[in-house]
Amino acid sequence: MKCCLSMLVVSCALLLTAVPGWASENPPSENAATAALHKLFKSAWQREMRENPLEASSVGVHEYDGDWPDVSPTMLVKQQLENIQTLVDLNKIDFSQLDYEDRLSYDLFKYRYQLQIQGYNVKDYLMPINQLEGVQTLSILTHTLRFENQQDYENYIKRLQTINVFIDQNIALMKMGVKEGMTEPKVVMERIPHQIAANVVSNPEESAFYAPFKNMPDTIPAAEQNRLRAAARSAIANVLVPAYRKFESYYDQDYLPHCRTSIAAEALPDGKAYYAYMVRQYTTTDMTPEQIHKLGLEKVAQIHAQMAAVFKQVGFKGNYQQFVHYLRTNPRFYYKNPQHLLEAYRAAAKRVDPLLVQYFPVWLLPRVTYGVRPIPAALAPDTYPAYSVPPAGDGSVAGYMAVNLYKPESRPKYDIQVLTCHEGRPGHQLQIPIAMELKDLPDFRRFDYYSSYGEGWALYTETLCNEMGLYDNPYSRFGFLDYQMWRAVRLVVDTGIHSEGWSREQAIQYFEDNTALSNQNIQTEVDRYIAWPGQALSYMIGEIEIQNLRAKAQKELGAKFNLKAFHAALLEHGALPLTILKQVVDKWIQDCLEGKPEMVRD
């Protein structure tokens, strides 16, 4: 069966040359091909929602709110066969009869399912947890699920009552992974025991899973509130905690001792193919690890030269390493109180909002709001400085930027604004909600995400915030450059670890030599790249492409170039692989040259 499935996989690298160009003159939109395409989109999306209930809840499809995904091996094979059949059905549709936007949807749909098929074949599902995500982190669902009415609580209780099945299925995948040599490195998996232990509580009301029951809507009668709370306590005490205790026992006694000692993805069975897939998936390019490693070294050198100007501006006497040591050790650059750090992030977010209308057309700005909240304490020591959680697709739950308040003495003040621009607005909390609100697009496009596009956009907006004047002192500007350096270093370190034979210590040293990140952040970051091969490459690869596209548009359009319209061109089609993004922008440039007014509306 595996041999047959592998033969049916089509290389993503061939996707865009395997179909006719969709930028040609539009055919009529009302025809059998169009109808068949949208019928396929709808049926495939309905299947995805049914098979991925957590995703369904997050995008606003509430039919499956009481369910968990079925990740049993039997279901994974079934989904793989369904994905293959979906491509077979797609290939039956006459591409030449589709209009521009539907041709774009056709290509994106094909790309999406090819990646899913390839992902199954590299067996990434046999490593379902790491220090960043997995069943031990499920309590963060309380931040993203809807809790508006009694039925929402009933659905959530059903999930609490059946969480043991989902955890057991993950254990079964991990056991398969051990047998096949598909495990994460022990050095990063040693971060997980305390995350699991946080879910094994003696008092159900102290569980993070109980949080939604502490403040329930007044629209639910008091007697019903009491009943729901009692049911939640029972489910946590009698199902959830025993399931996590079982998971803890398996993890500590059986799984962790079998995790591999090597850190390189290429050390996995068929590891070169595995890492090549990860690089292709996260960059949406055909760049090799060797090319990316070389690009990273070049970018690091370029940014060092830009940093030198900041040293001169502040009048610092010394070299780069001495300046970095000064920044890492001087208390003036850090908050002592976590609450003060949280308030600074919230203030930074508010500084951006009034400026958005100067850089984006008003019709494009999202209606849904977002906030800033702390990362849960049990997860904070092992995760990012901040991350972005999208809003619910139906607008019932706002988005938020989660910020890390663990060890505030390791979170520099000069990084606050640039990090807020990335995770908040105009970064993730702008791009993702805009995509969700593009109601004319098929649902899979509204909620799809390509890391090179999404992270590339967020990194681009860090530079955009520099244009907005938000880095209004030399240290804040250094923070911006340091974040650019951070992403350039990622190109070197990720490929260094997974294809160049680097040790963890070598990766940490390279970070210390080239960035101003604290040791706490550096170790967390290096362990992130070890556990998540390829993802860290997407940021700088994506930003470089967006900056190149902007430079090309400015050169070819001259006085006709409109920055608001350019940003709309980047965002109004949803997330795109970089190759397709280039074709979309090229068409926009041509439309502008031809004077089509809808292309430059602001």
Q: For the CA atoms of 9, 540, 532, 82, what is the dihedral angle to 10 degrees?
A: -30
- 10 Å Cβ neighbour count for 165? 15
Peptide bond connecting 597 to the previous residue in cis, omega within 30 degrees of 0: no
Instruction: Please identify every stretch of the chain with a pLDDT value under 70, giving residue numbers as ranges.
Output: 1-29, 597-602
Q: What single-letter DSSP state applies at residue 371?
A: E
Sheet with 370-374, strands from edge to edge, namely 370-374, 399-403, 386-389
Tell me the C-alpha distance between 230 and 400, whole Å: 30
pLDDT at position 9: 28
pLDDT at position 20: 34
For residue 28, what are the contacts with CB-CB under 8 A and spacing of at least 6?
97, 99
Q: Which residue has the tokens 């099945």?
A: 165
Which of 312-335 are b and which e, b meaning 16 or more Cβ less than 10 Å from the residue's Cβ? eeeeeeeeeeebbeebbeeeebbb
pLDDT at position 4: 35
Q: Are strands 399-403 and 386-389 parallel, antiparallel or unpaired?
A: antiparallel
Amino acid present at 307: M
Cβ contact 192:251 at 8 Å: yes
pTM equals 0.90
Length of the chain: 602
Tell me the C-alpha distance between 141 and 33, whole Å: 40
- 10 Å Cβ neighbour count for 217? 12
**How does DSSP assign 230-241, residue by residue?**
HHHHHHIIIIIH
Tell me the C-alpha distance between 444 and 315, whole Å: 52
Phi/psi for 330 (5° steps) reads: -85, 120
Domain residue extents for the chain: 2-121, 135-261, 278-541, 542-599
Strand partners for 402: 373, 387
**Nearest residue to 411 (alpha-carbon basis) of 257, 542, 516, 495:** 516
pLDDT at position 14: 28
pLDDT at position 319: 83
Q: Which tokens in the block code for residue 252?
A: 């500590």
Per-residue model confidence as pLDDT tens digits over 82-112: 999 999 999 999 999 999 999 999 999 999 9
Q: Mind spelling out the 3-state secondary structure of 410-452?
A: HCCHHHHHHHHHHHCCCCHHHHHHHHHCCCCCCHHHHHCCCHH
Phi-psi map region of 534: left, alpha, beta (phi>0 left; psi -120 to 50 alpha)? left
Angle between helices 538-557 and 289-314 (to 10 degrees): 80
pLDDT at position 16: 32
Strand, helix or coil for residue 408? helix
pLDDT at position 26: 47
Cβ contact 600:559 at 8 Å: no
